[in-house]
Structure 1
């Protein structure tokens, strides 16, 4: 049994449902689980989606997590806990894949996974970034070497121990606080090759194409299909586009760096809007502190930059 799962709240529930449809189309042999860090009533879910609400199982320290984390921190902090719960429900699972709600599959990824590895990670970059005022290597280093929007593990003693270690740290060390060495669930992935020697890094150009890739990989339309650096496009991640993402929304301007990616994002937006109209869910997520960040984020960043310039000027004298 192979399983794909995602984790979301009402903010990105429509995105998760769009992901589920792409999984059904391109990985029809996989079971799809939707982990919900929220409490809206969801009626008439498609048959190919299995729902697990966060309240259906126990996370140690859950009440404190829900009170202390912002909602956009709480969702990724719960990801390893959902993985443990799914594997507990399905000891027969041979392969577990996490995909962020903002991912869309365009082809099957089975051929990318070699038989000898126990863990597959997605690098944020596979080569030094081309010069850009929007994104550079240092920012990638701060965010983490691996993209937390996709990973695959094969259950074993080593992978289960690593997953448990990661989950325990997400209880109180998954804030978005780069200055104190935290970046939601993501920085802990840096340790995974130490825990699991049989770790493979997926450098395939058409895998997980998103804002992390537009500077270095050329995505083009080829008839009705797409290719990245001459290889078929397998998956996309629209993290940072459409709703607030603590890492990638700072780099949303990069969407215009590749016309094919921009066109695919517009198509994706239409899919998500249809899903939202079907859901009719509004309001704030039930768990986590609510932060209305998106409307004033760029203004605040601009003011902070000006204040930094002024402080630097004062320091010179």
Structure 2
């Protein structure tokens, strides 16, 4: 049994359902789960989607996590807990894949997975970044070497041990607080190769194409097929584009760097809007502090930049 899962709340439930449709199309043999960190009662859930409410997980201090984390921090903080819960629910699982709600499959992923490995991680970059005023190496270091939006494991004592270690650290160390060495669930992935020596980094150009890739990889349509640097496109990630993302929303202008990626995002948005119309869900997420960040984000960043200029000037004298 192969399981693919995602984690969301009402903010990105429509995105999760768009992902589910792409999984049904390209990985029809996989069981798809939505880990729901919300209190919604969903009446129209498609047959190919299984729901796993956070209330069914035995997360220690979840109430404290929900009270202290913002909703966009709480979602990634629960990801390894859902992984453990799924493996407990399905001990027959041979392969567990996490994809964030903003991922969209365009091809089957099985051909990327070599035998002999227990964990597959997604790099944020696979080559030195081209010069850009929007994204640079320092920002990638802040985000971490690996992208937490896509990873795959084959259950073993080592991978389950790594999940347990990771999960217990997200209870109180998954804030978006770069100055104190935290970036939701992501930075802990840097340690996974130490826990699981049989870890493979997926450098395939067609895997996980998003804002982290547009500067270095070229997505084109050739002979009617989407390719990235000569490799078939396997998956897209629209993190930072559909709703607020603490890292990737800062780099949203990069979407214009590649016309095919931009066109794919517009097509994806239409699929998501259709899901939103069908769901008719409103209100704020039930768990986590709600942060209405997006409307004033650019203004706040502009003020911060001016204040930094002023303090730098004062420091000179």
| TM-score, normalised via structure 2 length | 0.99
Match of 1:115 in 2: 115
Match of 2:284 in 1: 284
- CA drift of 1:64 comes to 0.3
Match of residue 128 from structure 2 = 128
| 1:194-233 alignment runs, 5 A limit | 194-233=194-233
| Residue equivalent to 1:42 | 42
Counterpart CA distance in 2 for 1:305 and 1:50 is: 45
1:117-156 aligned at under 5 Å gives the runs 117-156=117-156
2:37 corresponds to 1:17: no
Question: In the alignment, is the contact (CA less than 8 A) between 2:57 and 2:81 conserved in 1?
Answer: no
SS state at 1:41 partner: coil
Displacement of 1:58 in angstroms is 1.4
Alpha-carbon shift at residue 224 of structure 1 (Å): 3.5
The offset of 1:56, in angstroms, is 1.7
Counterpart position of 2:315: 315
Question: Which residue of 1 is the match for residue 95 of structure 2?
Answer: 95
Query: What secondary structure is seen at the aligned counterpart in 2 of 1:289?
Result: coil
Alignment partner, residue 253 of structure 2 = 253
After TM superposition, the structure 1 = structure 2 runs for residues 185-200 of structure 1, keeping only pairs within 5 Å, are 185-200=185-200
Q: Hey, what does 1:306 align to over in structure 2?
A: 306
- Cα distance between partner residues in 1 of 2:211 and 2:277: 27
Q: Which moved more, 1:215-224 or 1:182-191?
A: 215-224
Query: Aligned residue for 2:235?
Result: 235
Evaluate the alpha carbon distance shift between residue 210 and residue 14 of structure 1 in structure 2; reply closer, same or farther with a 3 A threshold: same
Distance 1:125 1:169 in 2: 25
Shift of 1:222: 2.2
Structure 2 Cα separation of the partners of residues 264 and 188 of structure 1: 31
Please list, as runs of the form range in 1=range in 2, the aligned pairs for 1:170-189 lying within 5 A after superposition: 170-189=170-189
Distance 1:222 1:66 in 2: 47
Q: Cα deviations across residues 113-149 of structure 1 (Å, max 9, x unaligned)? A: 0011000000000001000010001110111000000
CA distance in 1, matches of 2:148, 2:315: 38
CA displacement, residues 263-314 of structure 1 (integer Å, 9 cap, x when unaligned) = 0001100000000000000010000000000000011001100110111111
Report the alpha carbon displacement of residue 225 of structure 1 after superposing the two structures with TM: 2.2
Q: What is the CA–CA distance in structure 1 between the aligned matches of 2:245 and 2:223, rounded to whole Å?
A: 32
TM-score for both structures, normalised by structure 1: 0.99
Q: CA deviation at 1:223?
A: 4.3
Shift of residue 242, structure 1, vs aligned partner? 1.6
Gaps spanning 5+ residues in structure 2: where? none
- Aligned residue pairs total 317
Structure 2 CA distance for aligned equivalents of residues 168 and 180 of structure 1: 18
Which ranges of structure 1 fall in alignment gaps of 5 or more residues?
Answer: none
Alpha-carbon displacement from aligned partner over 1:168-198 (angstroms, at most 9, x marks no partner):
0000000000000000000000000000000
In 2, distance between residues paired with 1:305 and 1:227? Answer: 39
Secondary structure, in 3 states, of the residue corresponding to 1:11? coil
